């Protein structure tokens, strides 16, 4: 959430930012409500002064008539205070609700555009493999190797759920161990987070818990939701707290199940493991001072690049355009791995990392005490270390062999306990 005064003082820029993000939000109503609140706070303070003066006068020696006059005045002041308090409380709710619709500002270097096709490639690592046979997509590979069962997943749980089987179970655990060990090497404190979070935490992070546009599963009558990412649970970890500046930045890594409705996400690019309702993910989350956040954003991206370079997967990095950022992100980089089975060979997103500045911290009320003694909002950042399904997809497609087997990336072999997944011998 942006600061109310910032919105008022930079109204034209805020409106342009909303336009560039291809979003709908009313900055004018925020300013209107903010001005009303300011006027009511001033009136509230004036009434408090009058009430104090009235109480002070009551302590003096007074005749009955004067005392009665002051008592009557005190009653009127009390009524006015109650009226202003009620008005102010109502305005506060409307103001916060309107301000929460305003997206974060955009980094000046982020490209302006409406669609992900307007994202800007900033780096390319590795060369897509040239196959001397017709490569298969990961669904065909996994089914032939008996690694995935989407049909029974659908039968038991519904569309976009699946059973992971045989060597794929070890491959998933290997990817998780590989990512966690990488984060540990970089000084991250590691967590396994809850799979459920309160709705107010989701709202603070920037997720919409309810309605047709919501991407999360709400738990009826509980005021909670299944988490779509450990960003939610790690971001809520310090909600309502004042952090010790000397301990910043805090580098957290969280393993969680992730649940997403993926409403409206159909089509060829949603095939198989690319877009499912449940998957495992290791997420990075950082609390920092404003001065640290830009450098830390680069650090998170470098860790993502290290992980996928270590897996030997070709990828490129894109600077996400304004219309594809999402409301909380000030700047976001996506890492897209080469997927030979995707539309004849294309890059597909496997990780992202965002600097959300103080946007989430304002909503979750997370501060630190600065050297001047004042409490200020922290900056928050997040990044995917490994989203297991998409990483597995990329491995199956890039490391497939003509005989139907799949070679395991060398960095994962110690965790898997095998270096190749071979076709099963038919009984």
Least confident of 71-75, 185-189, 338-342, 357-361: 71-75
Tell me, what's the pLDDT at 212? 67
Query: Average pLDDT in the 332-338 region?
Result: 98
Question: Taking the complete model, does pTM exceed 0.85, yes or no?
Answer: yes
For residue 263, name the pLDDT band (cuts at 50, 70, 90).
Answer: low
Residue with tokens 């967590």: 191
Mean pLDDT of 228-257: 97
Give the residue-averaged pLDDT of 161-176: 97
> One of 21, 362, 363, 390 is an active-site residue; which one?
390
d(CA 267, CA 56): 73
- Tell me the domains of the chain and their CATH numbers: 4-99 (1.10.287.40), 116-421 (3.30.930.10)
Of the residues 260, 301, 342, 362, only one is catalytic, namely 260
Tens digit of pLDDT for each residue in 72-106? 888 999 999 999 999 999 999 999 999 999 999 99
Query: Please, what's the b/e burial string for 367-379 (b: 16 or more CB within 10 A of its CB; e: otherwise)?
Result: bbeeeeeeebbbb
- How far apart, in whole angstroms, are the C-alpha atoms of residue 178 and residue 180? 6
Which residue of the set 349, 354, 363, 397 is catalytic?
A: 349
Q: Above 70 in pLDDT, residue 265?
A: no
Distance, CA of 352 to CA of 383 (rounded, Å)? 6
Is 362 tagged catalytic?
no
Contacts of 84 (CB under 8 A, 6+ apart): 40, 43, 44, 47
For the chain, give the longest Cα–Cα distance. 109
- Calpha distance 198→235 (Å, rounded): 12
Helix (H, G, I), strand (E, B) or coil at 141: helix
At 65 the pLDDT is 85
Helix (H) or strand (E) holding 147: none
- pLDDT of 33 > 90? The answer is yes
Extract the tokens encoding 78. 């009390």
> Among residues of the chain, what percentage have pLDDT more than 90?
85
Catalytic: 256? no
Task: Considering the candidates 21, 352, 363, 397, report the single residue annotated as catalytic.
Answer: 352
Known catalytic residue at 352? yes
Query: pLDDT tens across 98-154, in order?
Result: 999 999 999 999 999 998 889 999 999 999 999 999 999 999 999 999 999 999 999
Concatenated DSSP letters of 25-77: --HHHHHHHHHHHHHHHHHHHHHHHHHHHHHHHHTS---HHHHHHHHHHHHHH
pLDDT at 391 over 70: yes
């Amino acid at each position: 959430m942006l600061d109310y005064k910032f919105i008022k003082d930079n109204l034209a820029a805020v409106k342009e930012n909303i336009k560039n993000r291809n979003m709908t939000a009313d900055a004018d109503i925020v300013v209107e409500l903010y001005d009303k609140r300011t006027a009511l706070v001033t009136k509230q303070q004036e009434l408090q002064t009058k009430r104090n003066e009235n109480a002070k006068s009551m302590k003096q020696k007074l005749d009955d008539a004067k005392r009665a006059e002051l008592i009557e005045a005190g009653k009127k002041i009390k009524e006015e205070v109650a009226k202003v308090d009620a008005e102010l409380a109502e305005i506060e709710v409307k103001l916060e609700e309107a301000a929460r619709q305003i997206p974060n500002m955009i980094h000046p270097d982020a490209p302006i555009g409406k669609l992900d096709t307007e994202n800007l490639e900033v780096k390319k690592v590795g060369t897509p493999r040239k196959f001397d046979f017709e490569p298969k997509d990961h669904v065909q590979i996994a089914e032939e190797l008996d690694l995935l069962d989407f049909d029974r997943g659908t039968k038991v749980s519904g569309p976009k759920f699946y059973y992971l089987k045989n060597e794929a179970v070890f491959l998933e655990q290997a990817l998780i161990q590989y990512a966690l060990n990488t984060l540990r090497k970089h000084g991250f404190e590691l967590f396994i987070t809850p799979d459920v979070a309160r709705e107010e935490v989701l709202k603070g992070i920037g997720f919409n818990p309810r309605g047709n546009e919501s991407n999360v599963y709400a738990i009826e009558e509980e005021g909670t939701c299944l988490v779509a990412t450990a960003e939610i649970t790690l971001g809520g970890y310090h909600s309502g707290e004042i952090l010790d500046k000397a301990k910043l930045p805090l580098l957290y890594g969280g393993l969680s199940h992730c649940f997403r409705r993926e409403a409206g996400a159909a089509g060829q690019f949603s095939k198989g493991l690319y877009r499912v309702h449940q998957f495992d993910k290791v997420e990075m989350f950082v609390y920092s001072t404003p001065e640290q956040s830009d450098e830390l954003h680069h650090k998170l991206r470098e860790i993502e690049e290290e992980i996928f370079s270590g897996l030997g997967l070709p990828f490129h990095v894109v600077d996400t355009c304004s219309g594809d950022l999402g409301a909380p992100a000030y700047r976001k980089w996506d890492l897209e791995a080469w997927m030979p089975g995707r539309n004849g060979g294309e890059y597909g997103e496997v990780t992202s990392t965002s600097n959300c500045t103080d946007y989430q911290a304002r909503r979750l009320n997370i501060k630190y005490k600065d050297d001047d003694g004042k409490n200020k909002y922290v900056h928050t950042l997040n990044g995917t270390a490994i989203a297991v399904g998409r990483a597995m997809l990329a491995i199956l497609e890039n490391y497939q062999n003509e005989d139907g087997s799949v070679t395991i990336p060398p960095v994962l072999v110690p965790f898997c306990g095998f270096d190749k997944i071979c076709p099963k011998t038919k009984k």
